[in-house]
Amino acid sequence: MDTTSDVAVVDPSTVLLSQAAADDPHGVYAALRSACPVGRADDGAVMPGVYVSSYEDVAWALRHPEVFSSAPDALSIGQEQPMIPVQVDPPLHTRYRALLNPVFKPRRIAELEPDVRSLVRELIDGFVGRGWCNFHDELATPLPSTVFLRLLGLPASDLPQFLQWRDDTIRPAGDADEAARTREAAGKAINDYFTTALVDARERPTPGLLAELVDAEMDGRVLTEEELLGICHLMLLGGLDTVTASLDCMVAYLATHPERRRALVGDPSLVPAAVEELLRHQTPVMLVPRIVREPAVLGGVALQPGDPALLVLGAANSDDGAFPAAGDVDFGRNAARHVAFGVGHHFCLGAHLARLELRVALEELHRRIPDYELAPDADVHFSVGIRQAPGLELVW
């Protein structure tokens, strides 16, 4: 790719969004940063547009939503309304964040730790005596999913349906047309479900975020039905997918790097730093879409309104210019500058909750099962884009 002009080039998405890159992304990231820290794929590419891969440029793009917008036309995944607040730009985004931030502030999230720890222990109790587990199915998925349902005040019996809608939205099967139809059907079903759930929250309120949202006010008014559905849609996808992917990435790494695992077993105080370093090194959300709103020049490439853009978070997090010896995992590193949660206005709303779930899961796993490894016949492959590993089977 040419980083000093708008010369048309091949489509990097054929490499980035491949199974090989999902399973072992660092070589792809390095090649992308070397060839095109900012580059433009031509109109004949599968995913034409601007690709941004260096840490400095990705961080700049994330901090300037007036140029790199995350509005719905950046990516449609079947939703009938913007997912709030992630698909709304400032200044309206700021008002939504002010409304939702109290729910996710550190002190309130810290109050959840006893329940989260109890849940993790209960899940581990279910398989610890067996000597093996499918970590994805038996801990990485039920932990954040159960916390999500409790947070919203929804019944645990609805989880299988939520997980199906999640996968139909983020990992739909088939070609592009079939995937679009699947996503559209899932989006409609999600809206139908939450339309009913919001009525129930008004008429028969139970403790949980839904009951708080239906009475919440912004700018002196209650939220509209469209706004409430946009918030619920985002909560579902965020609550059920990214922590699961993060746990899969972290434990798959630790299962194949016993010296790192033993460090956590020997010194549990390393776990918070390990969470940040593994989010950086194993970045579960490989890239995020944006759409250019204002003319700008980034990395020598002229950006025009309407240009689609992909910010390659994983490449930014493995940039030696930002993190010396970035290819190495170092629990002594200050990795807090990573962009796995984003930066700026769109910093992940649920980051404090995610950190709590990840920390407690790693603490309890290594306390109860200090010596694990991949099963000999494990077939570990990560999903493309957001890196979950359904075949993550461990033995001890």
**Catalytic positions, written as ranges:** 171, 241-242, 348-350
Give me the residue label for tokens 């033993």. 262
Contact 264, 362 (CB under 8 A): yes
Q: How far apart (Å, rounded) are the C-alpha atoms in residues 155 and 283?
A: 31
- Rounded to 5 degrees, φ, ψ at 386 are -120, 120
Nearest Cα residue to 378 out of 390, 364, 365, 366: 390
Question: Distances from the Cα of 169 to the Cαs of 79, 178, 181, 247, 331, in angstroms?
Answer: 9, 12, 10, 20, 34
- E runs forming strands in 211-317: 217-218, 221-222, 288-292, 296-298, 301-303, 308-311
Residue 123's SS3 state is helix
Residue whose tokens read 């222990």: 121
Look at phi and psi of residue 325 and say left if phi exceeds 0, alpha if psi is from -120 to 50, else beta: left
286: tokens are: 């490989």
Contacts of 186 (CB under 8 A, 6+ apart): 78, 164, 165, 168, 169, 172
Q: Please, are residues 194 and 232 in contact by the beta-carbon 8 Å criterion? A: yes
Letter for the amino acid at 386? I
Residue 290 tokens read as 């944006």
190 within 8 A of 162, measured Cβ to Cβ? no
Q: ∠13-354-119 over CA atoms, to 5°?
A: 125
Query: Is beta strand 49-52 parallel, antiparallel or unpaired with respect to 308-311?
Result: parallel
Q: How far apart are CA 394 and CA 134, in angstroms?
A: 6
- Interatomic CA distance for residues 261 and 265, integer angstroms: 6
Which residue in 56, 54, 30, 40 sits closest to 3, CA to CA? 40
